[in-house]
Amino acid sequence: MFYINKLLPLIFSPLFIFIYLIVLNLFRKNKIILFTQLSIFILFTNPIFSNFLISDLEKNSPPQIIQDIQTADAIVVLSGTIGQVSKSGIKITEWGRPNRYLAGIELYRAGKAPSLIFTGGNTPLDDDKFIEGEFLKQKAMRDGVPENHILVTSNSYNTEQEAISLSNVLYSKNIILVTSSFHMTRAKSLFEAHGYKVSPFPVDFMSTDNNISILSFFPSVDALSKVDLYIRENIGRLYYSIKYRN
């Protein structure tokens, strides 16, 4: 299942769409195909278009003010915050989305919940069994959170498993959920499908309200990455909406 979840979005990614069109054009020399290929490339690498797509992902998960968040039984921080990089025979732990961790700490310090929970965050590809949640637990303790107020779930490969594994360490169902804004809609629905009452606290906002400038019309690799993210996230939303359809 892990590999299906990873490979399915790849099939519909911008990269594969370009490959499909290139192969098709090799067999059928057609100006329409070539024009379509060029048009898609221009569209997918346009910052204005990519910002529109990311805004659509984030529209239901706007920024929240900590003081306005209702108290809950636990603050749940989803994995995807850090990763390990091998360099010159040394494994280095680096931050990817530190705002998830930082938001969890801020919510705890604001007294929004008595427990701080990190999900396991390990995949079958991690040969050294590095557990993200355990690393974040040690970091939180150094940042002043008492050890008996921190919990770590079992290894979880995706958001669905994070929701399932939470029940093994938390018996109450009222939580504050911390994850990236683009991911919050899917994460919230999965945790609710497993019986949790969720107060969302989104972070890592990627869309902006900035005015359009001349640079907005130049092709961007970052824009292409955002289009890929939009496709992958919507595939995930569709898959789980079908799986948990009542």
> Per residue in 109-118, pLDDT tens?
999 999 999 9
Same domain, 81 and 144: yes
Same domain, 55 and 70: no
Same domain, 122 and 235: no
97: domain CATH number? 3.40.50.620
Q: Could you tell me which residue, 125 or 116, shows the higher pLDDT?
A: 116
> Per residue in 201-246, pLDDT tens?
999 999 988 777 787 888 899 999 999 999 999 999 998 999 888 6
Could you tell me what percent of the chain has a pLDDT over 90? 57
Q: Is residue 209 part of a domain?
A: no
Residues whose CB falls within 8 Å of the CB of residue 2, separated by 6 or more in sequence, listed in order: 123, 124, 157, 158
Please state the rounded mean pLDDT for residues 11-23.
76
Same domain, 87 and 148: yes
Same domain, 83 and 168: yes
Q: Is residue 213 part of a domain?
A: no
Q: Is residue 74 part of a domain?
A: yes
Same domain, 182 and 162: yes
Mean pLDDT, the chain, integer: 88
Please give the pLDDT value at position 104.
97
Check pLDDT > 70 for residue 53.
Answer: yes
Same domain, 166 and 185: yes
Same domain, 234 and 138: no
The verdict on pTM exceeding 0.85 is yes
* DSSP secondary structure letters along the chain: -HHHHHHHHHHTSHHHHHHHHHHHHHHS--HHHHHHHHHHHHHHT-HHHHHHHHHHHHTTS----GGGSPP-SEEEE-S-SEEEEEETTEEEEEES-HHHHHHHHHHHHTTS-S-EEE-----TT-TT---HHHHHHHHHHHTT--GGGEEEPPP-SSHHHHHHHHTTT----EEEEEEEHHHHHHHHHHHHHTT-EEEEEEE------PPP-GGGGS--HHHHHHHHHHHHHHHHHHHHHHHT--
Structural domain total, the chain: 2
Show the domain range for 30: 2-59+218-243
Same domain, 151 and 230: no
Please state the rounded mean pLDDT for residues 19-27.
77
Could you tell me what percent of the chain has a pLDDT over 70? 92
> Per residue in 164-201, pLDDT tens?
999 989 989 999 999 999 999 999 999 999 999 999 99
Please give the pLDDT value at position 123.
56
Please state the rounded mean pLDDT for residues 11-34.
76
Same domain, 182 and 113: yes
